[in-house]
Amino acid sequence: MKKIDWQNKLILAPLTKGGHVPFRRLCESFGADITISEMAYAFKLFHGDKREKALLRRTSEQGIFGVQLAAENLGVAIDACQMAIEEGADFIDLNCGCPIHDTVKRKMGAYLLQKPRHLTKLVEGMVKYSSVPITVKIRSGWDERRINALELSKDLENAGASAITLHGRTRSQRYSKEADWDLVAQVSQAVKIPIIGNGDILTFYEAEQKKEQGQCASLMIGRGALIKPWIFKEIKEKASLTPTANERLAIYFQLAQTMKDYYGQDEFGIKRALPLLAWHFSFLSKYRPLPKEKFKEQSLNYPLLQTRLDPHEDWKEGTLDAVLSTNNEKTHLAIAEKLLRASSLEAESFLDFL
């Protein structure tokens, strides 16, 4: 079986809608060590769904790439694993944390947290018939009354899982409340396989604090990367990076160009990329500079990712910063279209959106 070093890695979470190839490449360029596909339904792959198969494409030839599957039937899961391996997956991650109704009603994702025996058998079978490592992403439990991550992690280790990612919230909590990194530490101490901690990382100093608190092998970052894709570089350099509005716009332009390269330079490609890039601005617009000396103490009381942050005091009306921080969806769409149709970047022209 292929070996992967899971120690001290920065991992881009499997992001539904946002985890497409162009965004993964952008994060990889900023230092993400491991990237993972959007969650793919094993049963759709089994039935030959072309859109679902497109989710299996590698990020690049350089980095470590995993495919995340949602599955509940072993035979279907094994076939989907083989398809992912043929497309170049270095490992397969089984999703046992997705809280959305569409997944749960199909008895997949977080639903499996309620069925530990079935989940264990599923992982055992995937490990037995796979030539690449099988990892599992779980939550704390189904709800606050049924937190079973500790017992479940022991079972998954015995089933042959190579690593476990623990998002320290229950399914019922979704993305609200503070992630439980003390639970991450309990699980890390209880099993021998690597535990990857996930939840509430928006700055390099929070990453350091969470890794120490969770005593985990590595960190997985989701929403923090959607807000600032350069977070991986920030963590590796151990510094609060505060790119200017022009520098941020250049990064967004880079994403737009990568999307055109991937989806196509023609009108069809641009129209396909447009709503997706506009969606990204619902996260990118939330960026605020959060220097350690000013925000570390606040972050210890409550995660900055969960805090409603006011617009930066220096971002005056009529500036590019004001444009990029707007939460107006029509403006997001207009910015996205301008970026996709531009052959070069003229930052001043974006002031027209004020």
Residue 323, number of CB atoms within 10 A of its CB: 22
How far is C-alpha 39 from the chain's CA centre? 10
Asked if the 10-237 domain carries CATH number 3.40.50.2000, the reply is: no
pLDDT at 144: 86
Residue in 27, 81, 96, 98 annotated catalytic: 98
pLDDT at 34: 98
Spell 112-125 as b/e; 16+ CB within 10 A means b: bbbeeeebbebbbb
| H-type alpha helices, 181-230 | 181-190, 204-214, 223-227
- Residue 162 one-letter amino acid: S
pLDDT by 10s per residue, the chain, length 354: 678 999 999 999 999 999 999 999 999 999 999 999 999 999 999 999 999 999 999 999 989 999 999 999 999 999 999 999 999 999 999 999 999 999 999 999 999 999 999 999 999 999 999 999 999 999 999 998 989 999 999 999 999 999 999 999 999 888 778 999 999 999 999 999 999 999 999 999 999 999 999 999 999 999 999 999 999 999 999 999 999 999 999 999 999 999 999 999 999 999 999 999 999 999 999 999 999 999 999 999 999 999 888 777 667 778 999 899 999 999 999 999 999 999 888 888 888 876
Q: What radius of gyration, in Å, describes the C-alpha atoms of the chain?
A: 20
Calpha distance 214→338 (Å, rounded):
43
- Residue 198 one-letter amino acid: N
Could you tell me the pTM of the whole model?
A: 0.95
Which own/partner contact pairs does 263-268 have at CB distance under 8 Å and 24+ positions apart? 263/22
Spell 238-261 as b/e; 16+ CB within 10 A means b: eebbeeebeebbebbbbbbbbbbe
Give start-end residues of each CATH 3.20.20.70 domain in the chain: 10-237
Q: Which residue, among 119, 161, 154, has the nearest Cα to 136 in the 3D structure?
A: 161
Question: Is the separation of the CB atoms in 11 and 38 below 8 Å?
Answer: no
Calpha distance 253→231 (Å, rounded):
18
Active site residue 98: yes
Q: Angle 11-17-21 (CA atoms, 0-180°, nearest 5)?
A: 60
Calpha distance 2→328 (Å, rounded):
46
pLDDT at 354: 60
pLDDT at 177: 85
pLDDT at 240: 93
Q: Which residue, among 111, 98, 120, 108, has the nearest Cα to 174 in the 3D structure?
A: 98
